[in-house]
Amino acid sequence: MNILVLNGPNLNMIGIREPEVYGTKTYEDLENYLFSLQSQYNVTLDIKQSNLEGILIDLLHYGNDRFDGVILNAGAFTHYSYALYDAIKSIQIPVVEVHLSNTDKREEFRKVSVIREACITCIMGLGFKSYEEGIKYLLKEGV
Ligand code: DQA
């Protein structure tokens, strides 16, 4: 299974940004952690990060006939980007919404996800393990 892992705005800053929320591990640590899962789950991962909404949309479109599924941490776009919602609805491959933190236990605005309905599930609050659970979900339910 080929999986596209898409990370949105400010995720490149983990390890530096709000360590009390996101921990002290860096984005590179996240990539290395994810790559280390490839052999364990027999998956191939392509990992991308962008701070730009349009690039994330382009990558979702690009991924449609090239990957079997997407793990998407849309960062703050989760809470207001109808364009990302439409992009997820535009493609045929399953998309799993993931978050490092538990967005339901933070500020009010984070309790809303406008992309959730377009995704096959949402996994949050487990740190890096949210992505691992997302991979497991795609393997179990995604195809
Ligand atoms: C996040 C949660 C979002 O609310 C926030 O804007 C992020 C990261 C998470 O992984 O916990 O940038 O998606």
Ligand 1 site residues, Cβ closer than 6 angstroms: 10, 73, 75-76, 78, 99-101, 103, 110
Q: Phi/psi of residue 93, each to 5°?
A: -85, 150
Residue 132, pLDDT > 70, answer yes
What is the 8 CA–ligand 1 centroid distance (Å)?
9
Which residues, including other chains, have CB under 8 Å from residue 76's CB and lie 6 or more apart?
A: 8, 9, 10
28-62 pLDDT per residue, tens: 999 999 999 999 999 999 999 999 999 999 999 99
Looking at residue 122, its pLDDT comes to 98
Q: Please, what is the average pLDDT of the chain?
A: 97
> Cβ of 40: how many Cβ atoms within 10 Å?
9
User: Encoding tokens for residue 106?
Assistant: 């933070």
Active-site choice (62, 79, 99, 137): 99
Annotation says 62 is catalytic: no
Looking at residue 25, its pLDDT comes to 97
Which is more confident, 15 or 142? 15
Looking at residue 142, its pLDDT comes to 64
pLDDT-derived band of residue 15, with 50, 70 and 90 as boundaries? very high
Active-site choice (22, 85, 131, 137): 22
Annotation says 79 is catalytic: no
Nearest CA to ligand 1 atom 6: 76
Q: What is the pTM of this model?
A: 0.97
Segment 11-23 shows an average pLDDT of: 96
CATH number for the domain whose boundaries are 2-140:
3.40.50.9100
54-105 pLDDT per residue, tens: 999 999 999 999 999 999 999 999 999 999 999 999 999 999 999 999 999 9
Looking at residue 17, its pLDDT comes to 96
Looking at residue 143, its pLDDT comes to 60
